[in-house]
DNA sequence: ATTAGTTGTGTCAATGTGACACAAAACTAT
DNA sequence: ATAGTTTTGTGTCACATTGACACAACTAAT
């Protein structure tokens, strides 16, 4: 592997969220030779835009393109990377000496979070230095390498904040979904239960949902209405941001 | 100047805001040999934390320490930097050939914004490749180099958003200030006029202001009350963030 | 003293929020 | 079929917040 095509000192890490079976999940990679997991990451080619680099990482791991992807923070502590793991990988001949030199640099890492549709991701794909790649439930995240736990926590924090301004769900839910499902998504993100009736009222007030006139059956109780997003209005809300009173 | 102490590929730019004579200002540097201005920026030493690097830039330009400073975005377009200006500086012998090599790298730039008290900044200080450094009114910003206009615009956008969650003013206003002054600050940031009475009501409801029992006189009209921030509550509000209803 | 310009306080209607109750629908077990 | 279980859709009501105002009080200049 030739790393000279990449910008030195700069890496990026992606927190890839999805929502499946009523729980929030992220993609993690199991590192070789160490009992720790990591966020999928990568580097930026010399001739590549930063955001394009992030898209590439995403494509590599999920096979998806044109996904909701957002920069949220740069992690730049001087001691955020450590040589131990790299040395181990050399000893186990997973990395060559030359490759190790690259990884032993000091990196700052640009954190991105992505929102993807679980169903559309066929099989998360690992890279050279990891032996597995899979979806992990947010409240069952194992020990991570380096500062990746901080990165994950910060991503969630930003996602939570962004919820105040923006609609969410288009990228995380299937084409059609019920309001209770959307509510669960919100609850998982903000970490607390919401009142059904108030949630419905507020959500419908945004006028970004379309009643498909269909219902989800087979659940052993009253069949909830299937909605889909009004994409035009959704995207409009996404960059205009909703609510906010006279000033804040 | 020896640049080998710095991390390659990485630079940072600071949008330093202050509020003076009822208007928002930023510090800009007049570039040598070209009729353009730039945001104060810098690089990160190999053994320095990223945020420490930003603090250092701030200290260098304003003389201030412990200032409100926040990362807001990374600018990483492949073509965001250009060789023309650097070549000119070499021709004019402002930069040596070796120094030029450093500047001709591709950089990603981490954007920071800072909020400082105008009064406490003695005299903004220029660097080697700039001939002047001064406060410029936000609506009188001249042509800037590279993508600095975008950086400035994005900084303002973030400042505006952050206003929704956070108190502001402690870093921008003098120790004591009047409510109309605070209101003008808000108006300049969000770019529109606010209703005096509603502004006062909302601001006081946050309970972060202390009535100093003094008034500002000499204005030719009713003397407004001087307030100061309750620092404890202010800082608490800063990291807890105020308002936000049941979910968003 | 009068005037001009602003500030502090208060009111009121409209809207939004939080806390609830109840009936309707779909499946299950009998 | 019928009754029971569960969860959904709808609606109400008190309370808080918001946006749009009117008025009196105060300071300096004339």
Q: Residue A80's pLDDT is what?
A: 95
Across the range B80-93, mean pLDDT stands at 92
Smallest CA-to-CA distance from B18 within B112, B113, B154, B110 is with B113
Rounded Cα distance, A125 and A59, in Å:
10
Say whether the CB atom of B101 is under 7 angstroms from strand D: no
Q: Residue B122's pLDDT is what?
A: 87
Residue B245: pLDDT over 80: no
Smallest CA-to-CA distance from A62 within A116, A7, A107, A136 is with A116
Q: Strands B37-38 and B41-45, how do they pair?
A: unpaired
Rounded Cα distance, A234 and A115, in Å:
15
> Of how many residues is chain A composed?
248
DSSP letter at B119 equals G
DSSP letter at B166 equals S
Question: A244 to chain B: nearest residue by CA?
Answer: B164
Tokens standing for A220? 């052993």
Across the range B91-108, mean pLDDT stands at 94
Say whether the CB atom of B245 is under 7 angstroms from strand D: no
Rounded Cα distance, B125 and B61, in Å:
5
The answer to whether B43 and B1 have CB atoms below 8 angstroms apart is no
pTM: 0.94
Give the phi and the psi of residue B175 in degrees, each rounded to 5: -45, -50
Which of residues B19 and A240 earns the better pLDDT score? Answer: B19
Q: Show residues of chain B in contact with A202, CB under 8 Å.
A: 247
What integer best gives the mean pLDDT of chain B?
94
Q: Show residues of chain B in contact with A76, CB under 8 Å.
A: 44, 49-51, 53, 110
Say whether the CB atom of A218 is under 7 angstroms from strand C: yes
Q: Residue B248's pLDDT is what?
A: 62
Rounded (10°) angle between helices A148-165 and B148-165: 80
Say whether the CB atom of A180 is under 7 angstroms from strand D: yes
Measure, in angstroms, how far nucleotide C16 C1' is from residue A5 CA: 55
B96-105, B139-148, B210-219, B237-246: segment of lowest average pLDDT: B237-246
Q: Which nucleotide comes closest to A200 if you measure CA to C1'?
A: D9
Q: Residue A247's pLDDT is what?
A: 65
Rounded Cα distance, B125 and B58, in Å:
10
Q: Residue A248's pLDDT is what?
A: 60
Tokens standing for B183? 């209101």
The answer to whether B129 and B32 have CB atoms below 8 angstroms apart is yes
Give the phi and the psi of residue B190 in degrees, each rounded to 5: -85, -10
The partner residue sitting opposite A246, judged by closest CB among B8, B198, B243, is B198
Q: Residue A241's pLDDT is what?
A: 87
Q: With CB atoms and an 8 Å threshold, state whether B165 touches A163.
A: no
Residue B244: pLDDT over 80: no
Which residue numbers in chain A have pLDDT < 50? none
> Of how many residues is chain B composed?
248
pLDDT confidence band for B247 (50 / 70 / 90): low
Give the phi and the psi of residue A75 in degrees, each rounded to 5: -105, 115
Smallest CA-to-CA distance from A173 within A162, A158, A188 is with A188
Q: What share of chain A is helix, strand, coil (3-state, %, to 5)?
A: 35, 30, 40
Residue B31: pLDDT over 90: yes
Q: Residue A103's pLDDT is what?
A: 95
């Amino acid at each position: 592997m030739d790393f000279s095509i990449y910008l030195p000192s700069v890496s990026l890490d992606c927190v890839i969220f999805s929502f499946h079976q009523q729980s929030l999940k992220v993609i993690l990679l199991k590192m070789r030779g160490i009992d720790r997991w990591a966020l999928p990451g990568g580097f930026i080619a010399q001739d590549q835009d930063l955001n394009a680099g992030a898209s590439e990482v995403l494509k590599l791991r999920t096979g998806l393109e044109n996904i909701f992807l957002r920069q949220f923070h740069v992690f730049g502590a001087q001691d955020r990377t450590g040589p131990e793991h790299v040395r181990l990988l050399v000893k186990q001949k997973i990395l060559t000496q030359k490759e190790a030199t690259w990884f032993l640099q000091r990196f700052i890492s640009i954190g991105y979070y992505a929102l993807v549709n679980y169903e559309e991701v066929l099989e998360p794909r690992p890279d050279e230095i990891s032996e597995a790649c899979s979806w992990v439930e947010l409240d069952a995240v194992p020990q991570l390498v380096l500062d990746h736990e901080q990165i994950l926590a910060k991503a969630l924090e930003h996602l939570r904040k962004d919820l105040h301004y923006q609609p969410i769900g288009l990228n995380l839910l299937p084409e059609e979904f019920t309001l209770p499902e959307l509510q669960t998504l919100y609850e998982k993100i903000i970490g607390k239960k919401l009142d059904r009736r108030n949630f419905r009222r507020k959500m419908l007030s945004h006028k970004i949902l379309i009643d498909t006139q269909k219902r989800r059956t087979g659940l052993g109780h009253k069949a909830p209405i299937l909605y889909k997003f009004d994409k035009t209005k959704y995207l409009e809300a996404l960059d205009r941001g909703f609510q906010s009173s006279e000033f804040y």
